[in-house]
């Protein structure tokens, strides 16, 4: 199964909407931890998710978040 890095960014005044959008949305990402720069003022969130394709990866996000997210195919590599 491929993996995708979901890179989401929102404006500071969109922050509360980016979190409220999850209410009532069914996703395997709900109630998990995510990396975020919101507390330090960067207003970005990142997830690494398994999915068949970029569309399936983005489908794990509610529409408001999805529209501000890029899905990048990634894999683990050894660092020399």
Residues in contact with Zn ion by the rule CB under 5 A: 15, 38, 43
Residue 30 CB neighbour total at 10 angstroms: 11
Q: Which is nearer to Zn ion, 7 or 15 (CB)?
A: 15
Q: Which is nearer to Zn ion, 40 or 75 (CB)?
A: 40
Minimum gap (Å) between residue 16 Cβ and Zn ion:
8
Minimum gap (Å) between residue 57 Cβ and Zn ion:
20
**DSSP tag of 53:** S
Minimum gap (Å) between residue 76 Cβ and Zn ion:
28
HEC assignment per residue over 3-47? EEEEEEECCHHHHHHHHHCCCCCCCCCCCCCCEECHHHCCCEEEE
């Amino acid at each position: 199964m491929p993996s995708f890095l979901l890179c989401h960014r929102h404006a500071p005044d969109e922050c509360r909407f980016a979190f409220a959008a999850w209410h009532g949305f069914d996703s395997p990402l709900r109630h998990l931890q995510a990396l975020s720069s919101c507390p330090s003022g960067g207003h970005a969130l990142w997830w690494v998710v398994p999915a068949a394709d970029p569309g399936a990866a983005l489908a794990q996000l509610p529409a408001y978040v999805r529209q501000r997210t890029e899905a990048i195919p990634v894999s683990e590599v050894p660092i020399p």
